Structures are given as structure tokens and as C-alpha cells.
Amino acid sequence: MLLHIENVLDAGQVAHARQRLDGADWADGRVTAGYQSARAKNNGQLAESDPLARELGALVLDALGRHPMFFAGALPRRIYPPLFNRYAGGQSFGFHVDNAIRYDRSLGEAQPVRTDLSATLFLSAPEEYDGGELVVEDTYGEHRVKLPAGDLVLYPGTSLHRVEPVVRGARVASFFWIQSFVRSPTQRRTLFELDLAIQQITGRVPDAPELVTLTGVYHNLLREWSDA
């Protein structure tokens, strides 16, 4: 399941991030790539230790924490500190699968993060650049993703994906990985659909007695399936 999450950052936050990133020290993106993906990767990236990555990463994490759709879709247990990249001048990233485990060293001791979900938060508006679509392959074929600035796409960490060459302008984005409380994509999707249905019923018939049962079912499934 690909999930489009709108307005993670508002226009003011996007403008702030972009202004801070204008003077950023973009390094070769291959530093965080695994052996196979380094061969396919050609972009600029902020070093993980760059204070600007930490600063803007905190802004992104704070915004995610307030977004109910992100929580419902990802059921995040751990989030790898957001990274930032930039593609311009024909740069691209060929087909690859992200590393299964990443080590978050931001808090001292290395903390493993299983990459159940990958996320891209777009910081450039689609009209600012040509190309640069995130192409995600799943059993239904290819999905081409290019979202408004401030919007995020969540996609399964298991999927083959690539970034098309950016042939005009620049594509600036934040990207990161999420270890979910629920490892199975099917179970996560079931919980998400149940959560949405409960919210929709709540909106229409707030005092429907069945809501108590359905909410109980949701939490009991989450308890059963989560590996907290």
C-alpha cells in the first residue's frame, strides 16, 4: 500500500526548510547507500551528522507526531532521523531496495531500526522541476509519485523503487524509514482501514453503540499483532 499523507508541513514550514537548505553543504549521497544501491545512486545529501539535518529533522518528526493519518498508516515504533537530499542536473537513483536494518546513532548507542516503511517528504513543488518522480514497483505494477511540497508518501520498505532523472530545476526532499509496531503490511493495512472506518462512523453517528465494539476490536487486533 502506498499512502499519500497531505500537509505534513505547512507552507510556512516548507519555506523555512527550503531557505535553510539553500545554503546547505550537499555531500555525495552514496555515503548512506548500501553496496548495491551505491552503484545506482547519484544525488546530493546532507551528512547525518550535519547540524542542519538534525534541526530540520526535528521539525519533521514534530510535525509527524501531530499528524493522525501518519500514525494510523505507519503505527510507528521507531523513526530513523530524517535525512535530506537534492537531485538536479540529470541526477537520479536507479532501482534498488533499501537496507532492511539501519542503525540510528543519533542518541549515542546504535539503535537498530527495521525499515518496514520508507517515506519521502517532498520539499520542492512539482512545478519547480521536471522528472524526479519516485517510482515504486509493487505487485500491481509501477506507481509514479510526485507530490506537492509538504506532502509525504509512505511505501513498503520491501518495494523496488527509483527516482527518475531531474532534468530541470532541483528536487529537494526529506526521506527516512519507520519501524512499525506491526511488521506485516497486510495486518497494518487491515488496522488502517478499520481505523478509518471507525473515524468515518464517528463523524456520522458519534454515539453509535457499535463504535465501542469496533474500537475494542481495533485495539485487540493491535495488541495481538504488535511487537512492542
Q: Where along the sequence are the contacts to Ni ion (CB under 5 A)? A: 98
Nearest approach, Cβ of residue 154 and Ni ion (Å): 13
Helix or strand holding residue 221 (H, E)? helix 210-225
Which residue's CB atom is positioned nearest to Ni ion? 98
Cα dihedral 125, 126, 132, 133 sign = positive
Torsion of CA 53, 57, 60, 65, to 10 degrees: 180
Residue 169 is classified by DSSP as: S
To the nearest whole angstrom, how small is the minimum distance from the Cβ of residue 169 to Ni ion? Answer: 21
Residue with cell 500491481: 140
* Minimum distance of Ni ion from residue 97's CB (angstroms): 8
| Minimal distance, residue 79 CB to Ni ion, in Å | 16
Alpha carbons 85 and 75: distance in angstroms, whole number: 25
Query: Nearest distance from residue 179's CB to Ni ion, in Å?
Result: 16
**Smaller CB separation from Ni ion, 177 or 225:** 177
Output 95 or 200, the one with its CB closest to Ni ion: 95
Distance separating alpha carbons of residues 168 and 128, to the nearest angstrom: 8
Q: Which is nearer to Ni ion, 136 or 198 (CB)?
A: 136
Q: Which of 34, 214 has the CB closer to Ni ion?
A: 34
Decide whether 158 or 190 has the Cβ nearer to Ni ion.
158
Tell the burial category of 221 from Cβ atoms under 10 Å away from its Cβ (0-12, 13-18, 19+).
middle
Residues sharing a CB contact under 8 Å with residue 51, sequence separation 6 or more, in sequence order:
none
